[in-house]
Amino acid sequence: MKACVLHAMHDLRYEDVPEPVISEPKELLVRTLVAGICGSDMHYYDEGGIGSLIRVREPIIIGHEGIGVVEKIGSGVTGDLLAHSIDTAEWINGPIKKVTAYTEVFIKERKNTDTGEMEKITIDDACMFLAVFENGSIGTFESTRYARGRKNYSTMEINGEKGAVAFNLETPEYLDFFRYADPDTGGKVEDHLTGWQKILVTNAEHPYMGKYWVPGTTIGYEHTFINALADFLLGTVGLGPKYAPDMRGAMRTQKVCDAVLKSAASGQWVEI
């Protein structure tokens, strides 16, 4: 790739430089669209530095005030797929208190498609962890990019004293429900009358179906983004509840992801 490289005062060259690659989980690759000229760049070019402390002692690429597009992210499966499960779990069940985790890199080296050289890979291909929630409940999480028979198999199951619910993003129009106790009497439902029920959640009781089709007609994955945008706009102007998830929720998810990776590295429980 090409870049403007300042070698010394008044020595600016447009030359070939190595293609950047991602090597750590928290790195990302940005394709620069526009770069501004900062006052510090002018000092580097005209004076060879800023004052006596900051000097151009080796070639540097100038133009740090840029706008670009994120091309690649360095996060492994924990910061990618598993982050969705963490966010959903905390939204439904409350904050996670502590975790213990294990990660694995299946492919230790990969060939850089641009340079052709083999590079060491450190980002995780699979992750599993145990969690303790602040409300006292416990959870197990797992995610991998190597479950070849699955497509978008993002699932959640919650089990309680009186029943359980399960959801699968590949079939979002259904909710699996198990009733252990009768809600009216509190007594155990007879075994021959209970079991997992597959509920088609597209009737008018669904908070969004009134904006779409008749009952029993499913909506697609893209409609979830329309619903999210509507919630955001209505919440912003005060015509609906506060929008979630928000930046505070995103920060919580990132804290849990960081704790998971820290635990995987240390082999210890990590408090959040």
| Model pTM score | 0.73
The answer, yes or no, to whether residue 113 has pLDDT greater than 80, is no
Could you give the CA distance from residue 26 to residue 21 in angstroms, rounded to a whole number? 12
> What is the average per-residue pLDDT within 108-123?
78
> Is CATH 3.30.360.10 what the domain over 81-271 is classified as, yes or no?
yes
> Would you state the pLDDT for residue 54?
86
Residue-wise pLDDT for 79-98, tens only, equals 889 999 999 999 999 999 99
What b/e readout covers 192-203, taking b as 16+ CB neighbours within 10 angstroms?
A: eeeeeeeeeebe
**Please, what sign has the CA dihedral across residues 76, 77, 78, 80?**
positive
> Would you state the pLDDT for residue 23?
62
Residue-wise pLDDT for 161-178, tens only, equals 999 999 999 999 899 999
The answer, yes or no, to whether residue 26 has pLDDT greater than 70, is no
E strands along the chain, which residues?
Answer: 2-8, 11-16, 28-36, 49-50, 54-55, 60-61, 65-73, 96-104, 109-111, 118-120, 126-133, 138-144, 155-159, 163-168, 174-179, 196-200, 270-271
> Would you state the pLDDT for residue 229?
93
> What is the average per-residue pLDDT within 254-265?
94
36-40, 116-120, 191-195, 268-272 — most confident range: 268-272
Tokens 């509190």 — which residue? Answer: 186
List where CATH 3.30.360.10 sits in the chain: 81-271
Residue 62 and residue 41 in contact, taking contact as beta carbons nearer than 8 Å = yes
Residues 6 or more apart in contact with residue 233 via CB below 8 angstroms:
none
Q: With bands split at pLDDT 50, 70 and 90, how would you rate the model's confidence at 114?
A: low
> Would you state the pLDDT for residue 24?
63
Residue-wise pLDDT for 143-154, tens only, equals 998 998 998 899
> What is the average per-residue pLDDT within 43-69?
85
